[in-house]
């Protein structure tokens, strides 16, 4: 799904600063061994490498890793890129000083094994940083709008925006972490001329949206209904004047693996 469209361009154009926000909040410092889980094209991984960390960017989608390699080379960032499943990471126990994920691990379908793997590869006392869209925020609501039109999820899969629910994250991390901090924040998105411009952009670049439209391609009535629903969603979140301006809410979680 994530090879559909052009997620690297979307991330660079729409949410370029979220990776750096996560790296700074987590306290990544030069020399740290850092893992970015479900890194995509490296929004957080490249920021961590530029901060002087020794970084591994892992993702299940080879096309995103290749885009990340090219972007890292252009920006002078040196890091390792590894194809890996967030639910079965190919790394040793306690291998990393810091483990991050920026709107990435939330899309692993089974939350418990993904969380267990995140905790396993972080050393005792190591830092953990997560940045995920909330259920109540714009992207969470967008997934709710698309759900009736989407193909059935894998067996046992949980909705991605649950990773943006504080109680869900606390339950996943449990007593294996200490001094957890949870903060709701927003990112200003003003790259679109209007609601329809937003919809068409996501229809051609965002893998989950493309997959939903492919699923209903043979039902013109559903396509029209989803077109309207997505435009209405953007319109409901518009705080701009002459152009569309939205505040997308995310949950920023920082904590440490319990020693």
Question: What integer pLDDT is reported at residue 20 of this predicted model?
Answer: 98
Whether the Cβ atoms of residue 92 and residue 121 lie closer than 8 Å to each other: yes
Name the pTM for this structure.
Answer: 0.95
Give the C-alpha separation, 247 to 79, whole Å: 32
Question: What integer pLDDT is reported at residue 240 of this predicted model?
Answer: 76
Q: Examine residue 201 and state whether it is found in any structural domain, yes or no.
A: no
Q: Examine residue 77 and state whether it is found in any structural domain, yes or no.
A: yes
Q: Examine residue 52 and state whether it is found in any structural domain, yes or no.
A: yes
DSSP H helices in the chain = 7-14, 18-26, 43-50, 62-75, 111-121, 138-146, 166-173, 195-205, 207-215, 220-236
Give the C-alpha separation, 216 to 226, whole Å: 9
Average pLDDT, consecutive stretches of 10 residues, N- to C-terminus, the chain (259 residues): 94 96 98 98 98 98 97 97 98 98 97 98 98 98 98 94 98 97 97 96 97 98 98 94 92 97
The CATH number of the domain holding residue 101 is 3.40.50.150
Question: What integer pLDDT is reported at residue 241 of this predicted model?
Answer: 77
The range of the structural domain enclosing residue 113 comes to 7-188+247-257
Task: Return the ∠ at Cα 7 (arms to 61 and 78), rounded to 5°.
Answer: 65
Question: What integer pLDDT is reported at residue 159 of this predicted model?
Answer: 96
Q: Could you give the number of structural domains in the chain?
A: 1
Give the C-alpha separation, 197 to 193, whole Å: 6
């Amino acid at each position: 799904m994530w090879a559909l469209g052009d997620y690297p361009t979307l991330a660079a154009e729409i949410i370029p600063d979220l990776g750096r926000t996560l790296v700074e909040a987590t306290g990544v410092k030069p020399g740290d061994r850092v893992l970015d889980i479900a890194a995509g094209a490296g929004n957080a991984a490249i920021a961590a490498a530029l901060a002087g960390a020794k970084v591994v960017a892992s993702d299940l989608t080879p096309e995103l890793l290749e885009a990340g390699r090219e972007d890292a080379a252009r920006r002078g960032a040196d890091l390792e890129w590894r194809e890996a499943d967030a639910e079965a990471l190919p790394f040793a126990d306690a291998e990393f000083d810091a483990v991050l994920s920026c709107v990435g691990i939330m899309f692993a379908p089974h939350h418990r094994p993904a969380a267990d793997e995140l905790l396993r590869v972080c050393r005792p006392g190591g830092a953990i940083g997560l940045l995920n869209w909330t259920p109540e925020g714009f992207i969470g609501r967008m997934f709710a709008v698309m759900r009736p039109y989407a193909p059935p999820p894998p067996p046992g899969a949980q909705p991605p925006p649950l990773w943006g629910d504080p109680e869900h994250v606390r339950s996943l991390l449990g007593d294996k972490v200490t001094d957890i901090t949870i903060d709701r924040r927003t990112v200003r998105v003003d790259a679109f001329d209007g609601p329809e411009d937003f919809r068409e952009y996501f229809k051609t670049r965002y893998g989950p949206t493309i997959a939903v439209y492919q699923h209903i391609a043979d039902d013109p009535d559903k396509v029209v209904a989803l077109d309207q629903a997505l435009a209405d969603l953007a319109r409901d979140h518009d705080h701009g004047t002459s152009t569309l301006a939205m505040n997308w809410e995310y949950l920023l979680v920082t904590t440490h693996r319990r020693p």
